Amino acid sequence: MSSSSPNKLAKQLSKKSRKKEKLSKNKQIVDDSDLTTDTEYDHMEKHDEELLESLQVELREWTLSQPHFVNPRIDQPFLRRFLHHRNNSLQQAKEVLEKYFKVRTNFPHCYQRLDITDPTLYDLMSNGYVFPLPEKDKDGRTVVFGIAGKLDPKRHSPSDLFRAFVITFETLLEDEDNQRKGFTYVFDQSDFSLAHFTFVGLRETQRLLSTGEKAMPMRHRKIHWFNMPTCLLFIYDLFKGLIKDKFQKRMVVHWTLDSLQQHIPVKILPKEYGGQFTVRELAARWVEKLQERREHLLSLDHMLYDETKKPKEKKESSESIFSFIGRLAWMDAY
């Protein structure tokens, strides 16, 4: 890590502040997690890698100092996902990291046993319930594709449903590009029925959405719903009511394939939707990737949150100098 002083870094950032004034004239930052564009993030990565490394060191030291974090990961891909998620705010990254450990421990049926060899989970994934498309979208983001009808309430459990998404997210988040740029989603709701809706229950869905939204360091950029049965639109409205307004604004319902193809390049879609490879082929590729990552995914279960060892909370008076400068770097890039 370079030994440049915070003062020197602050001077470098002051040049960017003048650019920020022009960029911000007609912009309003509504939410901290509503991040910059991909081009602006590339700019930040190029000029502020040193700051990111400094923040990563601080986050690692803090993580190791927490007695209630049992066997925490401290590698770069893991720690940086929290820093990217919270716009280089060290304090906010700490908060999300703590929630992540807590949620993993409190909801083991959703976040643990991410074992692709588990028969029902394997059946769900190999049939194409959820998988990433082979290429990025026009914004350079990974597209996560889901088909509701692949879940059979008679064969699969709610745990299978949640683990299918968590095993996918944990694997994709190992890529720093995904951490920075976020994800686009396409959810095909054909064959979705009331049996699927009552499969988990509204209360449990609300609780898991709330905890997962706050604890999983992910950027949900755009959510496309396709083949939505008109008789189930009220369920869609209920679902929207469970999530934040900013996510509601990112949701789009498509009534035709042509409409969906205007947003997602045809060539990267499954063959059944106009692309080159079938759902089965794409799902098989993803299952193979998950099999390669099996030992790593299972090792995540060693990370736990021991509430009995948590020290009494101390109110931090201020963020570190590197965290403060990191926040300025993001704001100037914006």
Least confident of 36-45, 75-84, 146-155: 36-45
Other Cβ atoms closer than 10 A to 292: 12
Q: Percent of the chain beyond pLDDT 70?
A: 70
Strands 220-226, 251-254: pairing is: parallel
User: Which CATH number is 113-297 given?
Assistant: 3.40.525.10
Mean pLDDT of the chain: 81
pLDDT of residue 70: 98
CB–CB of 180/43 below 8 Å? no
pLDDT score, position 236: 65
Three-class secondary structure of residue 240 per DSSP:
helix
Q: What angle do CA 108, 109, 115 make, to 5 degrees?
A: 95
Taking only the tens place, the pLDDT of each residue in 203-223 is: 666 666 666 677 899 999 999
pTM: 0.78
Per-residue model confidence as pLDDT tens digits over 123-172:
999 999 999 999 999 999 999 999 999 999 899 998 999 999 999 999 99
| Predicted local confidence at residue 318, as pLDDT | 46
Q: Is 275 helix (H, G, I), strand (E, B) or coil?
A: coil
Range(s) within the chain of domains with CATH label 3.40.525.10:
113-297
Residue 272: count of CB within 10 angstroms of its CB: 14
